Amino acid sequence: MGRFSTRSLVILAAIQLLCIYAIAQDNDWQPVTQEELQMKTPKVEPDADAEVLFWEVRVADEHGRGFRTVMRHYIRIKIFTEKGRDDNNRIDIAFGKAGDLGVDVSVKDIAARTIDPGGSIAEVKPSDIFERETVKGKGIKFLSKSFVLPNVKVGSIVEYRWTEIRGNSLSYFVRLKLAREIPVRYVKYYIKPVAAPYFNLGMRVHSINTSSHFTPDAGGYYSTSMEDIPSFKEEAFMPSEYEVQPWILVYYEGDDSKASAEEYWRHIGRDTYDYHKSLLEPNNEIKQAAVKVIGDATDTETRLRRIYEYCRDHVMNVDDDATGMTPEQLKNVKPNKRPSDAISRGTGTWHDKDMLFGAMLASIGIDVRVANVASRTEPAFDRSLGNAFFIRAEIIAAKIGDTWRFFAPSGRYIPYGSLPSTVEGEPVLISDKEKPFFVNTPRSSPEVSVRKRTADLHLNEDGTIEGDVRIEYTGQLGAALKEQNDDRTTAEREKILTDSIKSQTIGTAEITAISIENVTDGNKPFTYAFHIKLPAYADRTGKRLFVQPNIFERSTGPKFVKSTRKYDISFDYAWEELDDITIKLPAGYKSESTDPMQKVTDDDGNLSCESKLDLSADGSTLHYNRTFVLGSRSTLTYSKYAYARIKGYFDSIHRMDTQGILLVKNDK
């Protein structure tokens, strides 16, 4: 969800003071050796296209008129193949809002150069560095300083360095990565804790998937290093990258090293309860608003839903990237002093929206708590380790009867009854004055998140298919598409659709009369409607036409391609797919038979797919139905050792999806 717990925010507030002053930068490059210049083969991975020779980062927390973190990066890479050249000659350095805390990151002092095997040097000019928007995996967008290294070829060394400044902040939960997309021969981190009057928190480190120990170094720094780190390459449907690759977490915390994990979590739960107690107490304005929103509803479920949808839809989340407000307008938005301010102003932070929801529930007699929840974007939560970073997101817990239920009204597109997919099925700590306790959040069932595709088509004798299509997405599927599209123009949204349909059907597909509905509506399905024409879709041979009834799967490939697997298989949420396709056949063409219903099911019924192709009584129309379900038994993760079996299921489904039917023209 990208939200820090209030306890974290309280600590951060204590260290986020404005500090602006210049940074001196050492402009000397480290020497390049003849051995590095003449190197012909990689060391860490024999087939690597490029390799990091060294990677050095100096992290210094500084105090002047406030706090800030300064990170000086330096990377040197050897190129071994043309692919290595192509993958490493363009560099993007992210800046802007970064991380869960939304810290402002600026970048300066960028220097970069290429050194050919003979020792000649070509430097990047300041005028060659530009800003652009970059998109990473899963549609995550960020601003970057970008440049292309000159004259890169096989055998070259490329190196670049820059200074990153995190304003108004310290190294409060900063990740230090140790792996990259290419293997690393040597990486070294230096960290320097802040030295400030009356600052009583100590710097801590938490190593994940490695055993790194910092030792004293020169200039007040502590350092650690690691050698021969394999490349980190993403796999389709893998767990969080932070679950599988080595990294170090740096943060500040009090001296609680003697506390047991049980004592630590009890303290966190009590602290969360105490902080939110006054915020969840409803004043008269909140009580009146709740009465008005509930209206004539008498049953608990309807009352809950109406309050939830009011808080989600009535209050604009100023933290959202699609507010439609200019930076100047956002700057002028007044912060709310209490949850009820969000009612009159109609604006607030994610925290304001959650507190308003909780206070409105409390006004009708419901026991409400703030709960800290783990996330699937992090390593699997381990209660034996006392570290609030790994359970830092907040949601609202409400006791309905004897059951605790969970809500996230600040999620703009999360439907009532659901949570963001990242916190479904995760450990959650429910705050309490005396005895906080852990439970697990529920996972939504497959029928909550549905992709429904319908098509009414006709097939021409030349093999062209044409007709009308409607595609609806609900639940987590719909929420993801709304987030992807809500800050884009109509033209950009239509291009996303067109590119997707062409990749699924044929590249010459003509998509017209496009309608994209409910992009910013939290209740209704995200919907595409359009007219499609697929020239020469069916293969024609003489008087025969070979056609694949499921037009949406004609050009799709297998979900899993590689024969081996490095990481476990992890799906984000359970979902269903429903296809209903009708194809009117050209005059005179018949199919002597259609295949019976086909079905693929895994051992315990968690994964299934079935399809059926019917021919109308007069033989003039094909009717294709398909139902796919994953998560019927709430299983979303499979061991990598079960990969061959899981891949086999999906391969069978792909063959079933792309199966065709032969039509023959009867001239009689």
pLDDT in tens, 578-589: 999 999 999 999
What mean pLDDT is predicted for residues 139-155?
86
Give span(s): CATH 2.60.40.3140, the chain.
6-253
The whole-angstrom separation of Cα 53 and Cα 286 is 60
Contact 582, 620 (CB under 8 A): no
Q: What is the pLDDT of residue 168?
A: 82
Residue 27 in this model has a pLDDT that exceeds 60: no
What angle do the packed helices 261-277 and 6-15 form, to 10 degrees? 80
Interstrand relation of 50-63 and 450-459 (parallel, antiparallel or unpaired)? unpaired
Contact 610, 533 (CB under 8 A): no
Count the neighbouring beta carbons within 10 Å of the beta carbon of residue 273: 18
The whole-angstrom separation of Cα 277 and Cα 298 is 27
The whole-angstrom separation of Cα 57 and Cα 190 is 6
* Per-residue tokens: 458: 């006709």
Radius of gyration, CA atoms only, the chain: 28
Contacts of 337 (CB under 8 A, 6+ apart): none
CA separation, residue 660 to residues 504, 547, 654 (Å): 15, 5, 12
First vs last C-alpha separation in the chain: 65
Q: What is the pLDDT of residue 70?
A: 93
Q: What is the pLDDT of residue 20?
A: 28
pLDDT in tens, 214-242: 999 999 999 999 999 999 999 999 999 99
Helices first, then strands: H and E counts in the chain: 13, 35
* Closest to 651 in 3D by CA, of 568, 556, 567, 574: 556
Residue 610 in this model has a pLDDT that exceeds 60: yes
Q: Which residue has the tokens 């902040």?
A: 169
Q: What is the pLDDT of residue 14?
A: 42
Q: What is the pLDDT of residue 1?
A: 39
Residue 361: φ, ψ to 5°: -65, -40
Q: What is the pLDDT of residue 591?
A: 85
The CATH fold of domain 447-665: Jelly Rolls (2.60.120)
Name the pTM for this structure.
0.88
Predicted confidence band of residue 15 (pLDDT cuts 50, 70, 90): very low
pLDDT in tens, 177-198: 999 999 999 999 999 999 888 8
The whole-angstrom separation of Cα 617 and Cα 144 is 60
Question: What's 150-186 look like in SS3?
Answer: CCCCCCCEEEEEEEEEEECCCCCCEEEECCCCCCEEE
pLDDT in tens, 93-123: 988 876 555 678 899 999 999 999 999 999 9
The whole-angstrom separation of Cα 256 and Cα 152 is 51
- Domain at 261-442: CATH code: 3.10.620.30
Residue 466 in this model has a pLDDT that exceeds 70: yes
Give span(s): CATH 2.60.120.1130, the chain.
447-665
CA separation, residue 6 to residues 169, 323, 405 (Å): 16, 23, 20
Count the neighbouring beta carbons within 10 Å of the beta carbon of residue 367: 11
The whole-angstrom separation of Cα 407 and Cα 371 is 10
Q: What is the pLDDT of residue 169?
A: 82
The CATH fold of domain 6-253: Immunoglobulin-like (2.60.40)
Contact 409, 354 (CB under 8 A): yes
Question: What amino acid occupies position 164?
Answer: E
The DSSP H or E segment spanning 490 is helix 490-504
Residue 639: φ, ψ to 5°: -65, 145
Residue 12 in this model has a pLDDT that exceeds 80: no
Q: What is the pLDDT of residue 26?
A: 38
DSSP code of 293?
Answer: H
What mean pLDDT is predicted for residues 385-402?
94
CA separation, residue 619 to residues 17, 587, 616 (Å): 76, 10, 5
Residue 624 in this model has a pLDDT that exceeds 80: yes
Contact 656, 596 (CB under 8 A): no
What mean pLDDT is predicted for residues 623-645?
96
* Per-residue tokens: 626: 């398909």
The DSSP H or E segment spanning 247 is strand 247-253
**What is the share, in percent, of the chain residues with pLDDT greater than 70?**
93
* Closest to 392 in 3D by CA, of 344, 426, 439, 442: 426
Contacts of 316 (CB under 8 A, 6+ apart): 323, 346, 347, 348
Give span(s): CATH 3.10.620.30, the chain.
261-442
Residue 517 in this model has a pLDDT that exceeds 50: yes
The whole-angstrom separation of Cα 235 and Cα 650 is 16
The whole-angstrom separation of Cα 351 and Cα 358 is 11
* Per-residue tokens: 13: 């507030």
Three-state DSSP state, 373: strand
* Closest to 278 in 3D by CA, of 190, 362, 195: 362
Range 210-230 burial, b when 16+ CB lie within 10 A, else e: eebebeeeeeebbbbbbeebb
List, in sequence order, every residue forming a beta bridge with 467; answer none if it has no partner. Answer: 457, 532
Q: What is the pLDDT of residue 489?
A: 93
What mean pLDDT is predicted for residues 66-77?
94
The dihedral sign for the CA sequence 77, 79, 82, 84: negative
Residue 145 in this model has a pLDDT that exceeds 90: yes
Predicted confidence band of residue 597 (pLDDT cuts 50, 70, 90): confident
DSSP code of 15?
Answer: H
* Per-residue tokens: 415: 């439907």
pLDDT in tens, 308-331: 999 999 999 888 877 777 878 878
* Closest to 172 in 3D by CA, of 101, 92, 74: 101
CA separation, residue 110 to residues 21, 87, 122, 185 (Å): 18, 20, 15, 23
Interstrand relation of 569-570 and 621-630 (parallel, antiparallel or unpaired)? unpaired
Q: What is the pLDDT of residue 11?
A: 45
Q: What is the pLDDT of residue 455?
A: 98
* Closest to 56 in 3D by CA, of 157, 185, 189: 189
The whole-angstrom separation of Cα 462 and Cα 540 is 7
pLDDT in tens, 528-569: 999 999 999 999 998 899 999 999 999 999 999 999 999 999
